[in-house]
Amino acid sequence: MYHIISSNINNINNKSNKPNDNKNDKTKFNSKILVIVLIGIIFHAVFTLSIFDIYFRSPLVHGMTPHPINLPAPAKRLVLFVADGLRADKFFEIDENTGKSRSPFLRNIIENKGTWGISHTRVPTETRPGHVALIAGFYEDVSAVTKGWKANPVEFDHLFNETTYSFGYGSPDVLPMFSEGVPHMQSESYPEEAEDFASDASKLDTWVFDKVQQLLLNASTNDQELNRKLRSDKVSIFLHLLGLDTNGHAYRPNSKEYFDNIALVDRGIEKIVKLIEDFYGNDGKTAFVFTADHGMSNRGSHGDGERANTETPLVVWGSGVRGPLSSDLQMERIASLRGKAKEMLPVNVETPTNWKLSSLFRSDVSQADIAPLMTSLLGVPSPLNSVGVLPTEILSEDTPQYTTAALRANTLQIWEMYKIKSSSKQQSTLIFFSPFTKLSDADRMFERIEQHISLSQWEDAQILCHQMIDLCLMGLNYFQTYDRPFLMTVITMGYFGWIITLSLYVLNNYTSIGIENCNQQKLSTQMKRFKTLSNYLIFIESIALVGFLLATDAPLLYYLYCVFLVLFWAKTIPSNIVPLYIFICDSFSQVSSTRGHFINTNNSANLSIIKNFIILSVSAISVMELLVVSYFHRGVLSLLYQILGVVSVFFFYNRSGAGKTSTLLKSLWLISCLLMSIFPSLPIDYGSDTKLVCFGGILISILGVLTSLFKFRNNSKQQQQSSSSSQQKLQKSKKNQIINSILIISILLSSFIVYTTDSSLEKKIGLPFINQLLSWILLVSGVLILAIYRGKGFYDHWTFLCLSLSIPFLLLSISYEVLFFGNLILNLTLWMYFELKVDNDHTIPKLVSITPNSEPSTSLSFSKSASKSNLMNITQHDIRRAIFYIFFCYVGFFGVGNIASISSFEISSTYRFTTIFRPFLMGALLLVKIFIPLLLVAISFSLLNNNLNVPRPGSFLIVIALTDIMSINFFFLVKDTGSWLEIGVSISHYAISNAFIILQLLLFAVSALLVPTTLKYINNNSNNNNNTIKSK
């Protein structure tokens, strides 16, 4: 950034000597701009990473000691059944057809033996986090997002780790998660190929039941060692039953397959329970838990927070568990036990009547509560990182002393976790540590708990324990998000600093408010003052931030965020703000000093510039905000297109020369805009429709032919008028004519290829070789001709580019997207026409130069002393065009697909090139398809900028500054809760908006190659309006 500042000053010095050099400086991407772009890329890369520091940090802490219960446990062993993907209502409800329960054995237990309820899971409702919550008692942190969720991202403690011996059977996706590194756990999984959606998945469950049967058989017949293990204390057996999940995905949860699978699981459990009771001689020392990891939506999917996904059944029975109770007074009982208000309890949904269970006491839990429930039944310590709260009302009423002791151990375990988290934060924070105040008298609370226990006041002790747990969990969350406010501020200020720096740079170098038009005397004095200020700022900010970071023992990346903060706010902004500062000072000081006497025209003009600038900024920000919404609702693009059409006809383009043709073109523009607005409202997952592709191809050809005809007419007119040079011109235009004809024929040929290829694919004949060959020849020759040929006039070249880009797009299309592309061409052509018209029309006030002698202008022109074309300045209209450009980019992006997932693009688009599955090639072809509309938009913008003498680097920086307004939005929209999909999408939105700088760099570079800077549109006769298509 130092270059920017130093060269600014050089500019001042050189300015008087070599005015012509300025022009060259401004048209090219010179070293200054390169430095900015480089800083921009690094800045965006670093700030993209920042979300992992802010949103995705592991909540796990280490170094806690386990808290045993110190009383004999009710159960010697625990059997856990997890029916993967079983949703609560399908399990509990009475089958409409048979009038009976689908799971008679478990139903009998609910009614006569044990307790039941709903286990409320958290999002993401997926298999892995579900099992972690059940067995380890914590909700898996989203930091696993960075580790791919596959392997264990972190070491964690869980139920099986605490037992003497554990046995587990089930899916290879689940078992290794818990058995790895646990030597006393014996587990077995079927091969992954068995999880085939096509076959009947309930055989997966049968496999698991058979394995347990085999285990018990082995132990009772020949394996003495196994027998000893199974008969020890604190043993657990885990049965993971994947059938329901697989059947739910394949046939949906309302299917016969799903219902049959529920029945099969029920029969299997009945068998296993009987075998186990027989094996242990009905000793009454076995506890059973039946639940699911997540539910299943009606669409056969899970992951999000839909009720069908988050509500899973829970049935607990056996040793240490209370029997069924009447539902009378249940709310009051649970509320008093947990020391909570009724509405805070998870039981806040009415039990559906078709469950026929309303008369029975229902014990709902949060999923992680099942972990301390199981450990308490078994008498082992809670998993160290568990945030589950023991559901005391599920434990037997006959042993209140044990229940209290278990809850006390649960409280101490969570308290320990809180203490470690708090002290580690305090240790790393030397100054400004703000503790969690609500737990400051924790010692007194624990004293009271012990007091109640010693007096056998079990209920009072339990209430206090519950209160203590609530506070500890709040405290844990407080420290988990401790750094967030600081980091959020740093990142947001970083983005604002970058946007302001870019804006000031454009203002200084490409407008008349900038350096060149300042009073040089004032400028150099103020420069010195601001330089001193900047140095002080750098010093103070660096000391403060580094001090703060050192004191808080911050990670290395935090320093990098702060480097950018200091760079922007202490260096680039103070150094570049001087001319603007002088401009504002001048405007206001003179107005106030002359108030009441006479109005100084110059300063009122200055004020109107400021006013217009504010209006422009506000509207720019509003459009950007609407584009942010378009990421979630593509319909917003439709709305914006309608607004664009109407507003531009009545405002922006209204002043261009009146007349019949102009009205005609304006209506055409309006129609084109309204047609464009249809596309973003259409569904993304459109099927294949070859007829539409061919129709689109023919329309584009007609458009091309019409263009040629217009040109021919104009040329013959010109030929009649002019004399000598026209011969040469005619030759050139003949060459154009030939090229265009070839292109039009190629487009028609492409349509034909698409048609024949698809019909032969439909007949399952395969991809005809000749079609494939022709497709590739057309694609390659299209690229070659783009690289070699340059049209000789403005519209010639534009027509040529449109036609040649249509060919690959057509070959990659499957449905209405060709119509979209054709209309986009028409839309952009008219856009350029109007923008050039507006700019060339000298009756429009925007080009009235504001000189001290002139009339005050109401419109903003930064160009003060000379006509714009000489100085290559940037005006408010250029900023408006940049906004239009970004909008068109988004239309190109989202118009016919959702870029956030490339999978939404039909793979069948590539079938004209290859039918064999080659992911890399197909991906590349799809990227070409996405890139073509964007490139077309970029080319039209580039053509406009060339002809309006807008410096390319300037317009590039404006575009970047504008899109970073969106990046800030997406930064705040990143989600750390929700389904895997929602989290992933929010991250990819943020990454896409940050990658926009690179995409734009690419687009600007390619369009700069395709559009020679010499190519000019010359409007030699502004009254002659019918030359829409005009050649030089």
Considering only 14-22, 79-87, 363-371, 483-491, which stretch makes contact with Zn ion by CB under 5 A?
79-87
Please say whether the beta carbons of 895 and 983 come within 8 A: no
DSSP state of 916: S
Nearer to Zn ion, 371 or 774 (CB): 371
Min dist CB 181 to Zn ion, Å, is: 22
Considering only 50-58, 124-132, 535-543, 690-698, which stretch makes contact with Zn ion by CB under 5 A?
124-132
Residue 715, C-beta contacts closer than 8 angstroms, at least 6 positions apart? 729, 730, 733, 1031
Map residues 28-67 to x or -, x wherever contact with Zn ion holds by CB under 5 A. ----------------------------------------
Nearer to Zn ion, 203 or 790 (CB): 203
Considering only 20-28, 191-199, 238-246, 1022-1030, which stretch makes contact with Zn ion by CB under 5 A?
238-246
Nearer to Zn ion, 85 or 791 (CB): 85
Secondary structure of residue 602 in the 3-state scheme: helix
Nearer to Zn ion, 84 or 878 (CB): 84
Min dist CB 120 to Zn ion, Å, is: 16
Instruction: Using alpha carbons, list the distances in angstroms from residue 390 to 287, 413, 533.
Output: 16, 12, 60
Nearer to Zn ion, 119 or 942 (CB): 119
Considering only 289-297, 463-471, 572-580, 713-721, which stretch makes contact with Zn ion by CB under 5 A?
289-297
Please say whether the beta carbons of 508 and 8 come within 8 A: yes
Secondary structure of residue 152 in the 3-state scheme: coil
Nearer to Zn ion, 258 or 495 (CB): 258
Number of residues that bind Zn ion (CB under 5 A): 5
Min dist CB 907 to Zn ion, Å, is: 28
Considering only 123-131, 222-230, 483-491, 741-749, which stretch makes contact with Zn ion by CB under 5 A?
123-131
Please say whether the beta carbons of 624 and 888 come within 8 A: no
Min dist CB 115 to Zn ion, Å, is: 24
Among 11, 61, 79, 84, binds Zn ion (CB under 5 A): 84
And the tokens for 323?
């029997």
Nearer to Zn ion, 128 or 211 (CB): 128
Q: Does 127 bind Zn ion (CB under 5 A)?
A: yes
And the tokens for 964?
């970073």
Min dist CB 153 to Zn ion, Å, is: 18
Secondary structure of residue 848 in the 3-state scheme: coil
Min dist CB 128 to Zn ion, Å, is: 8
Secondary structure of residue 187 in the 3-state scheme: strand
In terms of DSSP H, where are the helices of 175-221?
175-179, 202-221
And the tokens for 355?
């469950």
Nearer to Zn ion, 242 or 476 (CB): 242
Min dist CB 824 to Zn ion, Å, is: 44
Among 205, 293, 516, 796, binds Zn ion (CB under 5 A): 293
Min dist CB 177 to Zn ion, Å, is: 12
Please say whether the beta carbons of 180 and 218 come within 8 A: no
Min dist CB 249 to Zn ion, Å, is: 10
Min dist CB 928 to Zn ion, Å, is: 38
Which 3-state string (H, E, C) describes 960-1025?
HHHHHHHHHHHHHHCCCCCCHHHHHHHHHHHHHHHHHHHHHHHHHHHHHHHCCCCCCCCCCCCCCC
Min dist CB 440 to Zn ion, Å, is: 42
Residues forming beta bridges with residue 166, ordered by sequence position: 185, 236
Nearer to Zn ion, 314 or 554 (CB): 314
Min dist CB 349 to Zn ion, Å, is: 22
Nearer to Zn ion, 245 or 878 (CB): 245
Please say whether the beta carbons of 500 and 568 come within 8 A: yes
Measured CA to CA, the distance from residue 882 to residue 270 in angstroms comes to 70
Min dist CB 201 to Zn ion, Å, is: 12
Looking only at Cα atoms, what is the longest distance across the chain? Answer: 117
Considering only 68-76, 242-250, 365-373, 635-643, which stretch makes contact with Zn ion by CB under 5 A?
242-250
Nearer to Zn ion, 249 or 929 (CB): 249
Among 157, 245, 393, 817, binds Zn ion (CB under 5 A): 245
Nearer to Zn ion, 85 or 953 (CB): 85
Looking only at residues 906 through 925 of this chain, which bind Zn ion when binding is defined by CB under 5 A?
Answer: none
Q: Which of 122, 172, 182 lies closest to 150, judged by CA?
A: 172
And the tokens for 470?
């609530």
Nearer to Zn ion, 74 or 978 (CB): 978
Measured CA to CA, the distance from residue 867 to residue 516 in angstroms comes to 15
Nearer to Zn ion, 85 or 697 (CB): 85
Nearer to Zn ion, 47 or 139 (CB): 139
In terms of DSSP H, where are the helices of 595-632?
601-630
Nearer to Zn ion, 245 or 817 (CB): 245
In terms of DSSP H, where are the helices of 481-519?
484-510
Which residue carries 């600007």 as its tokens? Answer: 1004
Please say whether the beta carbons of 576 and 504 come within 8 A: yes
Measured CA to CA, the distance from residue 22 to residue 2 in angstroms comes to 20
Q: Which residue is nearest to Zn ion (CB)?
A: 127
Considering only 81-89, 231-239, 837-845, 977-985, which stretch makes contact with Zn ion by CB under 5 A?
81-89
Angle at 519 between CA 517 and CA 525, to 5 degrees: 130
Min dist CB 95 to Zn ion, Å, is: 24
DSSP state of 6: H
Which residue carries 């020369």 as its tokens? Answer: 657
DSSP state of 193: G
Q: At what angle do helices 19-27 and 2-15 cross, to 10 degrees?
A: 150
Min dist CB 979 to Zn ion, Å, is: 13
Considering only 122-130, 229-237, 276-284, 650-658, which stretch makes contact with Zn ion by CB under 5 A?
122-130
Q: What is the CA radius of gyration of the chain?
A: 36
Considering only 85-93, 585-593, 634-642, 840-848, which stretch makes contact with Zn ion by CB under 5 A?
85-93
Min dist CB 127 to Zn ion, Å, is: 3
- Compute the residue count for the chain: 1032
Secondary structure of residue 318 in the 3-state scheme: strand
Q: How far apart are the first and last CA of the chain?
A: 42
Reported in sequence order, the residue ranges of 834-926 that DSSP labels E, i.e. its strands, are: none
Residues forming beta bridges with residue 317, ordered by sequence position: 288
Min dist CB 82 to Zn ion, Å, is: 8
Considering only 37-45, 106-114, 286-294, 489-497, which stretch makes contact with Zn ion by CB under 5 A?
286-294
Min dist CB 204 to Zn ion, Å, is: 12
Residues forming beta bridges with residue 558, ordered by sequence position: none
Reduced DSSP (H G I as helix, E B as strand, rest coil) percent helix, strand, coil of the chain, to 5: 65, 5, 30
Q: Which amino acid is at 159?
A: L
Nearer to Zn ion, 195 or 982 (CB): 195
Please say whether the beta carbons of 831 and 1028 come within 8 A: no
Nearer to Zn ion, 257 or 878 (CB): 257
Residue ranges that bind Zn ion, judged by CB under 5 A: 84-85, 127, 245, 293
